[in-house]
Structure 1
Amino acid sequence: MDYWQIVLLFLIIAFVYSSVGFGGGSSYLAVLAMYNLPFQEMRLTALICNIIVVTGGVYLYIKNKQVNWRKILPITLVSVPMAYLGAIAKISQETFFLILGITLIVAAILLWIKTENTVTEDSFDNNKKALLKNSFLGGGIGFLSGMVGIGGGIFLSPLLNLMKWDTARRIAATSSIFILFNSISGIFGQLTKMPEHIDYTRIGILCLSVFIGGQIGSRMSLKWNPIVIKRITAILIFVAGINVLIKYW
């Protein structure tokens, strides 16, 4: 593989993102964009890497009983078909990079915002209005995620924190599960229109890199200050978004 730098960057991204419950899809795309890779392959690579990174985190969250399925299902069930529809939507390369750049900048702003989460472990809002709002939120983020090639957690987590939706730990668990199912759905959508020339060797090497980084990061998530990590991530994503817009727009 000629781009050994990508391997190192992917490992670092997986390490940082998994420590705060994300998959890293947005930053994978930003890195790949710098190397002028085919945008169809970029999206597929980012989604597969997302799955690898968040799977370990999902296992740990379920094991530690941080998953509230009654609240997660309305968001996730609607997002899955919408992610598929977003993935099969026909967009040009120019449109893709424009959406990607804007997406990265907006995500950075959301990540930077600090919220005081005062929700208790026992609180739960199960009225019809809340279910409708959760479903609408999940569907909208799911469609955008499928179109760009990310899992969507980088949008979902900050918004849920702003809404004081649940505890910080349960929001991280929700984001991981959201990313996992949306990435799988997005891949099925991407496979319906993939070009013939895909470098599967490169994808495989990058998958191994994020597996190592993700496993380390997900196990250190309880030891790091999540606000510090999120703000460092926000700065990196913001710079990446600006670079994408300057380079491709």
Structure 2
Amino acid sequence: MEHWEIVFFFLTVAFVYSSVGFGGGSSYLAILAMYSFPYQEIRLTALVCNVVVVAGSVTMYVRKNQVNWRKILPVTVLSVPMAYLGATVKISQTTFFQVLGVTLVLASILLWLKTSNQDTVASSVDDKNAGLVKNSLLGGGIGFLSGMVGIGGGIFLSPLLNLMKWDTPRKIAATSSVFILVNSISGIMGQLTKLSGKMDYSKIIYLGLAVFIGGQLGSRMSLKWNPLVIKRITAVLVFAAGVNVLIKHW
């Protein structure tokens, strides 16, 4: 594998992000795009790393009773098949990188937005207002983009749910983790239906192992990272990567 430093980058991203309950999918995409990996490898690698890291977060949230399955189901019921569909869409490498660049720029803007850190229930929104159709369409749209680009979708879902005052920040974080996990798995299944024989699976194994180690270490350490600072530093890096991708491939 060339560029062994990427293994260290992935381990570090997984370590920092998992310590505050994030997955780091956008950062994986940004790193791989900067190194100009083949686009099929970029998508599959990012999704596999998402599953490896976020699975631990979902387990933690379930144990702490932060997962509200009744509210999560409407968000994910359409996103899973749409993520699969998005992953099976045939697009050229140029089109992929153009969509990826725009996605990273939009994601950086959402990451920069400051949302409330207060763990209080939003009184302005209840289950009646957060209706099945609205949640399903939101989840389905993000799911399709997730499968096509190779992200879990939490980078879009979490800020939007916070802006909607959908639930407490902690419950939204748990919902986003579940959303990322199921959409990443669905996206992987979709991509496996049309992968070429030229895939370098050793890279995926090495990077998956790196994020597993980083994710396990980060989730077990009570580090005093400021989630907003991490999000905004990531926003700058993701924005720079997105602009760089657009310059190269537009």
- Counterparts of 1:63 and 1:235 in 2: how far apart (Å)? 33
Shift of 1:76: 1.1
Taking the TM superposition and a 5 Å limit, the aligned residue runs for 1:8-157 are 8-116=8-116, 120-121=120-121, 125-127=126-128, 130-157=131-158
**TM-score (norm. length: structure 2):** 0.93
Distance change in 2, residues 1:20/1:246 (3 Å): farther
1:200 corresponds in structure 2 to 201
Give the root-mean-square deviation of aligned CA atoms.
Answer: 1.9
Q: Which residue of structure 2 lines up, in the alignment, with residue 167 of structure 1?
A: 168
TM-score, normalised with respect to structure 1: 0.93
Provide the rounded CA distance (Å) in 2 between the counterparts of 1:69 and 1:136: 18
Rounded to whole Å, the distance in 2 between the matches of 1:108 and 1:5 is 24
User: AA paired with 2:41?
Assistant: E
* Cα distance, 1:150 vs structure 2: 0.6
Whole-Å separation in 2 of the counterparts to 1:230 and 1:137 = 22
The corresponding residue for 1:247 is 248
CA offsets 1:221-248 (integer angstroms, 9 cap, x no match): 7743221221112111111111111222
> Is the Cα–Cα contact under 8 Å of residues 118 and 169 in structure 2 kept in the other structure?
no
Identical residues among aligned pairs (%):
71
**Structure 1: 5+ residue runs without aligned partners?**
none
Q: How many residues align?
A: 249
Alignment of structure 1 residues 204-243 onto 2, 5 Å: 204-220=205-221, 223-243=224-244
Do 1:109 and 1:234's aligned partners in 2 also have CA atoms closer than 8 Å?
yes
Alpha-carbon distance in structure 2 between the residues aligned to 1:150 and 1:176: 12
* Range moving further from structure 2, 100-109 or 220-229: 220-229
- Is the 1:119–1:164 contact (alpha carbons within 8 Å) kept by the matching residues of 2? no
Task: Report if aligned partners of 2:27, 2:234 keep a CA contact under 8 Å in 1.
Answer: no
CA contact (8 A) 1:67 1:174 kept: yes
Tell me how far apart the structure 2 counterparts of residues 81 and 221 of structure 1 sit (CA, whole Å): 36
Which residue does 1:3 correspond to in 2?
3
Instruction: Report the CA distance shift for 1:236/1:133 in structure 2 as closer, same or farther (over 3 A).
Output: same
Q: Does 1:186 align with 2:187?
A: yes
Structure 2 counterpart SS, 1:198: coil
Note the C-alpha offset of 1:24: 2.0
Q: What is the deviation of 1:119?
A: 6.7
Q: 1:18·1:221 contact (CA, 8 Å) conserved in 2?
A: no
Per-residue deviation, 1:17: 2.8
CA–CA distance in 1 between the matches of 2:35 and 2:10? 13
Distance 1:118 1:82 in 2: 32
* CA deviation profile, 1:142-167 (whole Å, cap 9, x unmatched): 00000001100000111111111111
In 2, Cα distance between equivalents of 1:152 and 1:186: 11
Moved more, 47-56 or 238-247: 238-247
CA contact (8 A) 2:112 2:235 kept: yes
Gapped regions of structure 2 (runs ≥ 5): none
SS in 2 for 1:3: coil
